[in-house]
Amino acid sequence: MEKINEINIKIKNLREKKGLSQERFGGKVGVSGKSISAYENGRCMPPVRVLENICRVYNTSVFYLGNENKENLAEIISEIKQHVSKIEEILGSGLSV
């Protein structure tokens, strides 16, 4: 839920900075104003396609929207590697997942 809160605030800030209504902002990225409202209010997470469209149309980066700096990204990659390692151990021991 934390990532949704980061993204929803940044989408709303970007929209307000551009001086657009939710409907107009959404129209430019291919979704309805109601979808933008849902993203901004944290009711749902925008699909990657929508984030990519926002970045392309409004000339901003995915990392800005996702608030992923290099340190956070390295931490996430490390966690993923740990999980993969555990899965490999389980599969290597003959147990099924």
Indicate if the pLDDT at residue 11 is higher than 60. yes
Kindly report the pTM of this predicted structure. Answer: 0.62
Whether residues 7 and 32 fall in one domain:
yes
Supply the DSSP symbol for 10. H
Whether residues 78 and 39 fall in one domain:
no
Per-residue pLDDT averaged across 21-41, rounded?
96
**How do residues 48-63 score in pLDDT, each as one tens digit?**
889 889 999 988 876 5
Whether residues 61 and 16 fall in one domain:
yes
Mean pLDDT for all residues in the chain: 82
Q: Which CATH number does the domain housing residue 58 bear? A: 1.10.260.40
User: Residue 15 burial (CB < 10 Å; 0-12/13-18/19+)?
Assistant: buried
